[in-house]
Each structure stands twice: as C-alpha cells, then as structure tokens.
Amino acid sequence: MIELAILASANGTNAQAIIDAANSGKLDANVRVVLTNKPEAGVIERARKAGIPVEIIPSRGFKNRREEYDALVVEALRKYDVDTIALAGWMRILSPVFINAYGGRIINLHPAILPSFKGHKGIEDAYAYGVKITGCSVHLVVPELDAGPLIIQAAVPVKGDMETLEAQIHRMEYRILPQALQWFSEERILLDGKHVRIVESAEECKKTDYIEGCLVSPPLEEKI
C-alpha cells in the first residue's frame, strides 16, 4: 500500500483515474492529498467529491523561483505523510528541492512516447511532426525534463484529427498511470541505471498488451 499525493494543474482526469482505481480496489493506494498550483483547476472539485483533502498553493509569481515554490509544496505534503508522488498533469518542472525530498518515489505521466517530443505540448508536437505512431509514457522523475527511466508506455496510432488522437492518448493514460502506481505499491519496480524492470507477480494475473488498437509495454495486469 502506498500513501499517495497527486499533483495536478488542470481538469484532473488522470487524477480521477487514480482515485477511481483506488476506490475500486485495482490500486492499493491511500490518496492522502491532491495538491494544485491553480486555484481554478477542475481537479479541486474532483478531489472534494471524493472526500480527499486539497492543498492549493498558487504558483503565480514564482516563475523564476522554483526552489522557493517547491519548498512550500514539500512542506504541505509532509503534513500528510505521503511516500509516493504522482504528477498527473502537473505543469511545473520540479527543482532539486522537491526531487531530493521524494527521490525515487516521484512518477510523471507524459503524453508522448519518450524520449521523443518532450515538454508540455507532446501531443501537439507529435501531430504537427506527422508521426504515424505516438502515445504516452510513465517515468520516474529526475532533474532533467522528461528524461527519467521509463516504467510503462502505450503506443497509439495516429488516426483522424488531433482531437481524436488526444482522446485516444488520454484513454491510454488512464490505463497506464494506475498500473505504474500499482507496481510501486507491490514493490515490483527495480531500477538498473536507466532501465526499469518489473518483477513478476507472486499472484496469477491476466496480462494485456494490446487494447483499443494500442500496444502497451509492459503489459497491463489484472489479478485473477
């Protein structure tokens, strides 16, 4: 079981996927707090409806003061005794202050197949480039932007317009982010340099590596 904090800056659909997975028993996590840097973020109402405490720490005015802002965030999170951090649409680059506080226990969701199309416009950049396959990635956070070891990725074929692609990528995000957190909860993530290895489950489970026309690696798991 992990004691989880979710950091989100916008509507919070990925936060909702985590909350739903925890409530349904698919994810062994206590979501202790949702923290946002945007007072108007939709994730606030989602958390409150779920009965989860919310911390709102506006980031306006901290553009070139990342360490100072992150110190405030870390101070807030310590009140909830969290041990794992999920960045689910967190639109800020973490400073060493944050990474040193929770090193090795911070995961980020990125809407592209890393290491391609880093940055906050992953979907738009991939579509504009004309790729035939893009997707989403969950990775461990390191000081370099979108450069941490990869835990799980989903490959999404590009069909239709960008809005169609965006919707399909989001559907895969809702699958792979809770899965990565569950592997954390089961202590099955082993790190060897830049390589993440998922230890085999002690319980029998169904593995799915192809879903809704998309390839997922490592496969999604469902306990039997």
Residue 110 a catalytic site member? yes
In whole angstroms, what is the distance from residue 161 CA to residue 215 CA?
A: 20
- Residue 107 near residue 87, CB atoms below 8 Å: yes
Number of helical (H) and strand (E) elements in the chain, helices listed first: 6, 11
Query: Which 3 state secondary structure label does DSSP give 132?
Result: coil
Partners of 210 in the beta sheet? 215
CA 152/CA 154 separation, integer angstroms:
7
What CA–CA distance (Å, rounded) separates 177 from 184? 11
For residues 50 and 15, give the distance between their C-alpha atoms in angstroms, rounded to a whole number. Answer: 11
Which listed residue (110, 139, 170, 195) is catalytic? 110
Active site residues: 110
